[in-house]
Structure 1
Amino acid sequence: MRVAVIDGQGGGIGKHIVEQLRKRMPELEILALGTNALATGAMLRAGATEGASGESAICFNADRVDLIIGSFAIMTVYGLLGEITPAIAAALSLSKAEKILIPIQRGNIRIIGTNRIPLPHYVESLVNEVEQRVEQKKE
């Protein structure tokens, strides 16, 4: 299974996600897609299999993965303090890949029905979901 972890800014959330995925599923193919080189580098140092940066790389790879992972902001135009371009948001939204998103609520978007819990708890839930998808795909 090929999984894309998408992040921007300093790549802190993506780094944490990649670390936890790598711990639980060492064989998983993880593609780090950063909106910038700093974010991609952080995810690569955390154990991503390969990485690429920028709008073109994210748009190109959106349909070449089985699963897209990141915060909810990667799906919103100008999310991550403006780093998510309309082209990125469209490519991710239109991708046939399943998306597993962390409901981090910043700016003027509120997601009703979610609890505000610490990021590590969201990441643990996300990794559990990915693990289930990987097991289902093996069957």
Structure 2
Amino acid sequence: MIRIAVIDGQGGGIGATVIKRIKEVYGERVEVWALGTNAIATSQMMKARANRGATGENAVCHCAGRVDVIVGAVSILLAHSMMGEVTPAMVNAVGASKAHKLILPLTQEPLTVVGAGREPLPHLVDKLVVEHLARHVPPGAEPA
């Protein structure tokens, strides 16, 4: 079974949307870890049916090296993003992790991802879960 870490902060809405879709498609064939930069984000992702949850810098740093896939908005790669919730240590842990990173081109930071189209969140999440995540899920756990 693969472990997928979903990292989100602030209100946890993007992470919760991603987790709901992962669970719709793969159910309990994958283990999803909700890693929130704050307690509200973690709580929202747990309500979306994550298997495990943890909050804060140490949780992100500790867990980043223990998962197979990391999912999040591009902000998880930018120190001090999400109004300062993403610390340099978190960015370093995500970057140093051997996990495959599936990054959504969404941010409130002054950043433009050249070549990334502006699609609604549900469309981006569908592509992430059905097209890209499927490559990392073992045989027998394909999307429904």
Q: For the superposition of Structure 1 and Structure 2, which TM-score range results when normalised by the shorter chain?
A: over 0.9
1:137 Cα deviation from its structure 2 partner? 9.4
Pair 1:38–1:116, CA change in 2 (3 A): same
Residues 117-136 of structure 1: per-residue CA shift (max 9 Å, x gap): 11111111111111232046
Q: Which of 68, 74, 77 is 1:75 aligned to? A: 77
Greater relative contact order, per chain length (Cα 8 Å cut-off, separation 6+): 2
Pair 1:96–1:137, CA change in 2 (3 A): farther
The count of corresponding residues between Structure 1 and Structure 2 is 138
1:13 corresponds in structure 2 to 14
What 5-or-longer segments of structure 1 have no aligned partner? Answer: none
Structure 1 SS opposite 2:92 = helix
The 5 Å alignment of 1:28-67 reads: 28-67=30-69
1:109 corresponds in structure 2 to 111
Moved more, 9-18 or 98-107: 98-107
Rounded Cα–Cα distance in structure 2 between residues aligned with 1:134 and 1:113 = 27
1:82 Cα deviation from its structure 2 partner? 1.3
Pair 1:137–1:60, CA change in 2 (3 A): farther
TM-score by length of 2: 0.92
How high is the sequence identity, in percent, across the aligned residues?
43
TM-score by length of 1: 0.95
What 5-or-longer segments of structure 2 have no aligned partner? Answer: none
Q: Which of 84, 91, 94 is 1:92 aligned to? A: 94
Structure 1 SS opposite 2:137 = helix
Alpha-carbon RMSD across the aligned residues, in angstroms, is 1.4
Rounded Cα–Cα distance in structure 2 between residues aligned with 1:19 and 1:36 = 19
Letter in 1 for 2:47: R
